[in-house]
Amino acid sequence: MSIVNNKRGSQEKVAVVTGSSSGIGFETSLLLARKGFYTFATMRNLNKSQKIKDIAKNENLSLKVLQLDVTDDKSVKDAFRQINDESSRIDVLVNNAGYGVIGAVEEMSLDEFKSQFETNFFGVIRVTKEVIPIMRNQGNGNIINVSSVGGKIGIPLNSAYISSKFALEGLSESMRYELAQFGIDVILIEPGVVKTNFFENADVVINNNATTNNNKTSAYSQLNQKLFEGFKPMLNSSASSVSSDVAEVIYQAIGSTNRQVRYPVGKDAVSIFKMRQKLSDKEFENWIKESIFHKKSFIN
């Protein structure tokens, strides 16, 4: 990757990361800065910026925090105006910001579905559209889209989240063809379970809109309970990952001379994809049911 002077007169490569207030985005921003990238660690709520700022200051890292809400046109434009004022290039964009909605299709409002897509899918497009012209002009760049195992397989009561990540996978695959001619690579990161705030931050709509039974309890509460019980051990399983594992995979992928299109992260993710390839659709469905509802490990 050729490097030109940026507007600060240095030759650092430049990275932009969304959703840097916690979890994978937090660790990725720090790792890229530690590895020498001038990193714009963006987040929607600057009240959450103190920790990353303190670490960056203590370690003397080239890391700047900027406000960026991926669902807000003005916020995205303002952030890139500031980035462009400081830097004439962007080498890496990590589209990481995202959250999950848990609920049955029947009980979720269309607005809840739309909000999920507004962040996890349209948010990626909104940010990526700011970056493409810059990377196209400089003749190179890496766009890293943080998808999920859920970008390839269905999970009960996760249809909004899963479909937003399936959409992200289709978007990324298609953009690869468009952008390769300009030296821009688009890759997908597909973690299994990662121990972050993701599960606490998930928007659980089960029982809130309990309109499917006459007695006003959700028709899906039993399924939800089974899912919850099934997922609990996975959060503590050694097969799952921590944020720094995902950050490391992102960093390694950026530097790779033989870059893959997709990077599963975690033993759980690797095992799930292996089984997906090996089994028929129905066999795979049964294996997923067994793994989740009978609390068997995803590792095979």
Ligand X SMILES: NC(=O)c1ccc[n+]([C@@H]2O[C@H](COP(=O)([O-])OP(=O)(O)OC[C@H]3O[C@@H](n4cnc5c(N)ncnc54)[C@H](OP(=O)(O)O)[C@@H]3O)[C@@H](O)[C@H]2O)c1
Instruction: Give residues in contact with ligand X (CB under 6 A).
Output: 18-19, 21-25, 43-45, 48, 69-71, 96-99, 119, 123, 146, 148, 191, 193-194, 196-198, 201, 243
Beta bridge mates, 146:
189
Whichever of 98 and 141 has its CB closer to ligand X, that residue is 98
The amino acid present at 110, given as its one-letter code, is L
Give the integer Cα–Cα distance in Å for 20 and 44. 9
Whichever of 54 and 283 has its CB closer to ligand X, that residue is 54
Both structure tokens of 59: 């370690």
Give the shortest CB-67-to-ligand X separation in angstroms. 9
Whichever of 135 and 247 has its CB closer to ligand X, that residue is 247
Whichever of 127 and 206 has its CB closer to ligand X, that residue is 127
Give the shortest CB-238-to-ligand X separation in angstroms. 15
- Asked if 124 and 145 touch (Cβ cutoff 8 Å), the reply is yes
Give the shortest CB-35-to-ligand X separation in angstroms. 19
Give the shortest CB-26-to-ligand X separation in angstroms. 7
Active-site positions?
161
Give the integer Cα–Cα distance in Å for 13 and 87. 10
- Report residue 111 CA to chain centroid gap: 21
Angle at the Cα of 262 (from 27 to 170), degrees rounded to 5?
105
What HEC string does 152-178 produce? CCCCCCEHHHHHHHHHHHHHHHHHHHH
